[in-house]
Structure 1
Amino acid sequence: MIKYITFLLPGYSNKPIGGYKIVYEYTNRLIADGYVVNIVFPIHLLWYSYGFLHKTKLIILFLISKVYKCCGIGKWFNLDSRAKLKLTWNLSEQEVPISDIYIATSIETAMELAKFNNINNNNKFYFIQGFENWGKFNEDKVFQSYRLPMKKIVISENLLDIVKSAGGIAELIHNGFDSNKFYISLPIKEKNKHSVTMLYHTSLLKGCKDGIDALNIVKKQFPQLKAIFFGKDSPSENLPPWIIFYKNPSPKKLNEIYNNSAIYIGTSHSEGMGLVIGEAMLCGAAIACTDIGGYKTLAKNRETALLSPIKDPQKLAANIIELIEDDELRFNLATNGNIYIKNFSWDVAYNKMKHILLSDSCNDGEGR
Structure 2
Amino acid sequence: MKISFILPGFSRYPVGGYKIAFEYANRLANHGYDVQLIFFNNNHWKKLGLLQRGFVYLATQYEPKWFTLNKNIKKISYCDKEFKRKIPTDIAVATAVETAYPTEKICPEAHKMYLIQDFENWNVSNEYLYSTYKLGFKNIVIAKWLKKVVDKYSLQPSIYIRNPLNITQYQVHNSIEKRDQYTIGMLYHSAPYKGSTETFSSLCKLKDRFPELKIIMFGTCDPPKNLPTWVKYYKNASQQQTIDIYNKISIFISGSIKEGFGLTGLEAMACGAALVTTDYDGAKEYAVNKVNSLMVPVKDWKSLREKVAYLIVNDSVRKEIAKKGVQTARKFSWSEAYRRFADTILDINNDFGD
In structure 2, relative to structure 1, the CA distance for the partners of 1:78 and 1:59 (3 Å cut) is farther
1:65 is displaced (CA, Å) by: 5.8
Length-normalised TM-score, structure 2: 0.93
1:118 is displaced (CA, Å) by: 3.6
1:70 is displaced (CA, Å) by: 6.2
Paired residues of 1:173 and 1:349 also in contact (CA < 8 A): yes
1:110 aligns with 2:100: yes
Distance 2:102 2:108 in 1: 13
In structure 2, relative to structure 1, the CA distance for the partners of 1:195 and 1:252 (3 Å cut) is same
SS in 1 for 2:326: helix
The equivalent residue for 1:139 is: 126
Paired residues of 1:323 and 1:330 also in contact (CA < 8 A): yes
- Unpaired stretches in structure 2, ≥5 consecutive residues: none
Residue among 193, 211, 226 paired with 1:238: 226
1:213 is displaced (CA, Å) by: 1.6
The equivalent residue for 1:152 is: 139
In structure 2, relative to structure 1, the CA distance for the partners of 1:163 and 1:218 (3 Å cut) is same
1:328 is displaced (CA, Å) by: 2.5
SS in 1 for 2:319: helix
SS in 1 for 2:206: helix
The equivalent residue for 2:340 is: 352
1:61 is displaced (CA, Å) by: 5.9
Q: For residues 38-91 of structure 1, what are the alpha-carbon distances to aligned partners after superposition, in whole Å with 9 as ceiling and x for unaligned?
A: 1111122xx3xx7xxx5447975631465x796122321111121111111147
In terms of mean alpha carbon deviation, does 147-156 or 237-246 score higher?
A: 237-246
The equivalent residue for 2:318 is: 330
Matches within 5 A, 1:216-365: 216-361=204-349, 364=353
Matches within 5 A, 1:165-176: 165-167=152-154, 169-176=157-164
Distance 2:178 2:265 in 1: 20
Distance 1:342 1:60 in 2: 47
Amino acid at match of 2:14: P
1:207 is displaced (CA, Å) by: 1.0
Aligned-residue CA RMSD in angstroms? 2.2
SS in 2 for 1:113: helix
Query: Identity rate of aligned residues, in percent?
Result: 34
In structure 2, relative to structure 1, the CA distance for the partners of 1:345 and 1:59 (3 Å cut) is farther
Matches within 5 A, 1:175-214: 175-214=163-202
The equivalent residue for 1:43 is: 41
Distance 1:319 1:118 in 2: 52
Residue among 50, 62, 65 paired with 1:75: 65
SS in 1 for 2:244: helix
In structure 2, relative to structure 1, the CA distance for the partners of 1:55 and 1:238 (3 Å cut) is farther
Length-normalised TM-score, structure 1: 0.89
Residue among 20, 31, 53 paired with 1:62: 53
1:167 is displaced (CA, Å) by: 5.0
Amino acid at match of 2:291: E
In structure 2, relative to structure 1, the CA distance for the partners of 1:327 and 1:355 (3 Å cut) is same
Distance 2:62 2:241 in 1: 22
SS in 2 for 1:15: coil
Provide runs of 4+ in structure 1 moved above 6 Å: none
1:150 is displaced (CA, Å) by: 1.0
- State how many pairs are aligned: 352
The equivalent residue for 2:149 is: 162
The equivalent residue for 1:101 is: 91
1:100 is displaced (CA, Å) by: 0.4
In structure 2, relative to structure 1, the CA distance for the partners of 1:154 and 1:92 (3 Å cut) is farther
SS in 2 for 1:112: helix
1:323 is displaced (CA, Å) by: 1.3
- Unpaired stretches in structure 1, ≥5 consecutive residues: none
1:363 is displaced (CA, Å) by: 5.5
Matches within 5 A, 1:26-41: 26-41=24-39
Distance 2:340 2:198 in 1: 37
Q: For residues 168-220 of structure 1, what are the alpha-carbon distances to aligned partners after superposition, in whole Å with 9 as ceiling and x for unaligned?
A: 52101112211222111111111111110011111112111121122122222
1:130 is displaced (CA, Å) by: 0.7
Residue among 67, 78, 93 paired with 1:88: 78
Paired residues of 1:91 and 1:112 also in contact (CA < 8 A): no
1:16 aligns with 2:14: yes
Paired residues of 2:116 and 2:140 also in contact (CA < 8 A): yes
Distance 2:257 2:49 in 1: 30
In structure 2, relative to structure 1, the CA distance for the partners of 1:201 and 1:353 (3 Å cut) is same
Paired residues of 1:210 and 1:312 also in contact (CA < 8 A): no
Amino acid at match of 2:128: K
In structure 2, relative to structure 1, the CA distance for the partners of 1:330 and 1:236 (3 Å cut) is closer
Distance 2:159 2:6 in 1: 19
In terms of mean alpha carbon deviation, does 294-303 or 139-148 score higher?
A: 139-148
Paired residues of 1:282 and 1:341 also in contact (CA < 8 A): yes
Q: For residues 4-47 of structure 1, what are the alpha-carbon distances to aligned partners after superposition, in whole Å with 9 as ceiling and x for unaligned?
A: 00111112212111100111101110001111111111122xx3
SS in 1 for 2:151: helix
Paired residues of 1:8 and 1:40 also in contact (CA < 8 A): yes
